[in-house]
Structure 1
């Protein structure tokens, strides 16, 4: 008999893709797809169970189906629908994870748990290290939003791992996910016709392609398609990101979208205005990311988990940019404007233009 895999959060496109993909693995006999909302996409031959992981009924689902592998994807930063609330998202992230872990603890059949987390756990602050490893402690823990949710979720997962040492627990901290079908706050931001930026800052960013997200989830769940082999039983926490980095200015240039530098105190007002018209979730944590950036080390992902992403950070962004179509200006035109502005300011390659403006103002 093959494995029985339960996947949460299947109403979102990422969960739906994983469910459809994991059914094709030779070691899997059944896939139980769980969500509180009816998915709008097809789930193939998976058995859909409409259940809210915040409620004890999830325990019956695990026991009655003798589930041995749980892939928890229902940890997210945005509501599934425009009518959803931040409070509901937090309840699902934190209370739902607590309930799911409690059910897993009581289900003797569970042997493996994979949890989708985020590099948001590290936060973004001006005195952060240049590169975060999995053991680096943040100097400024997130104080709210999705970032705080992920910190709490990981705390509960560590507690579960201590109580059930017989279960292989993998926590995957994903960098910002991008791709043609991505529906994240950062994807919404990059889809704006004009990108508001923080004056004087040009943060370094990392991305992971949505196809690589599916591949590494398969590998962590014990399936071999991601690497051509069946993965060993691996526990631990892993940063997941494509190789390389992009500056925010480079990303805007490749999108062909002009930027509007805003003074840091006014960025919050801009974010509130964008939220009021429903354009994007410009949350305080996203503002900090677009101010200070965040880079993580992926050595453990490659050497311990045995996974190498198929897309670099730049390639993941390029695929996303291609799916969004041309911006207001061709990338060549944006580049010409930036280069012309740099020349007028006497800026050499690689220097932040906004910083040069501030420097000129300082010296009169």
Structure 2
């Protein structure tokens, strides 16, 4: 039996490049083709040395999958946050939802296809005050999520369910990852914990789970070369509360009322740590914990604990210095000014006035 050809989407990003490189080095895999709308960074040249790279948008996927006679597709071209440089939220939805829909349509028309692996997220469960203590793979979201990424994930998984009905001969694996963390991870979450002053919501101390990026890569690799049909939560065992994580990081938490949390995005930009959206804000309010027993049972693999993954991230960011008194006072004023603006806009809306 010949070794399979595997198509990996999203190789211009860290996870996609790493997965493609690992598969290309696996003797069980024949040819690895990396597909992306953008050229990979030169930093990934060594990882992608043995990967055939194709630059194409989702509309070209159908002919590419057919021409390559691919037996497996690993879909990692899913972005978790809008990048204003490349079109913001509209481009994010285009890539996540429309791109996945076009990819699945191509896969449906590929008779030789035998395996499909989809990167998903625990954001599929949403966040709500009515959430259970622990989510299993069969738990339905209590409310429609506010954040764009979570809504995209729900759409993506709905398309995958339709694909499974139409192509029961294909082993389809959906991996719901907890937020990535680790020494090599660079996300809105790691930027949040790397900043010297961390905004939190007064009265909330959510329970959080993470997955080490290296463990995520291992699970993706196994899903691509082994048969694991179904949907799986992927997270490190155990939890950290937000206050524990902040103390562990040697940072200073600054509590703000919940309406002011979104205005704290402006505060974080002042200190050069980027912004975060409703998906992250809701996570910091409600938290999210998932059951991973199905992963351990079916994959025979248990990721390192949430605490161990977080500690690895901290070792890569050893500077625990917090802001001095003057800068901290300026930061607190920035947050309070943002809260006042939000409250002023709310009052104006209630009374039919133009906001000041």
For the pair 1:268 / 2:262, whether they are aligned, the reply is: yes
Where do 5+ consecutive residues of structure 1 fail to align? Answer: 223-230, 331-364
CA contact (8 A) 1:72 1:116 kept: yes
SS at structure 2 position matched to 1:195: strand
Q: How does 1:131-170 map to 2 (within 5 A)?
A: 131-170=134-173
C-alpha separation in 2, matches of 1:275 and 1:117: 28
Query: 62, 72, 75: which is aligned to 1:72?
Result: 75
1:237 is matched with 231
Alignment of 1:67-146 (within 5 A): 67-79=70-82, 82-146=85-149
Segment of structure 1 superposing worse, 255-264 or 138-147 = 138-147
1:274 deviates by: 3.6
Where does residue 296 of structure 1 map in the other structure?
A: 290
Aligned to 1:339: none
Structure 2 CA distance for aligned equivalents of residues 207 and 137 of structure 1: 21
Q: Give SS of 1:304's match.
A: helix
Which of the numbers 315, 327, 343 marks the counterpart of 1:322?
Answer: 315
Partners of 2:147 and 2:316 in 1: CA distance:
32
TM-score by length of structure 1 reads 0.84
Residues of 2 paired with 1:81 and 1:108: CA distance?
A: 38
What SS does the aligned partner of 1:288 have?
helix
Task: Provide the rounded CA distance (Å) in 1 between the counterparts of 2:205 and 2:178.
Answer: 18
Out of 205, 210, 216, the residue aligned to residue 208 of structure 2 is: 205
Q: Matched residues in 1 for 2:272 and 2:93: separation? A: 19
- 1:273, 1:35 → 2: CA distance? 34
Structure 2 counterpart SS, 1:128: coil
Aligned to 2:247: 253
Match of 2:54 in 1: 49
Is residue 2:27 matched to residue 1:22?
no
Q: Is 2:13–2:40's contact at 8 Å kept on the other side of the alignment?
A: yes
- TM-score when normalising by structure 2: 0.86
Give the 3 Å change call, closer, same or farther, for CA 80–74 of structure 1 in structure 2.
Answer: farther
Q: Which range moved further: 38-47 or 266-275?
A: 266-275
Distance 2:57 2:272 in 1: 26
Deviations 1:182-236 (A, max 9, x none): 12221121121210000011110001001001100011112xxxxxxxx3x2210
Q: After superposition, what is the alpha-carbon deviation per residue over 1:256-292, rounded to whole angstroms, capped at 9, x for unaligned?
A: 1101000111112212554688632321121110011
Kindly tell me the number of residue pairs found equivalent between the two proteins.
318
5+ residue gaps, structure 2: 324-356
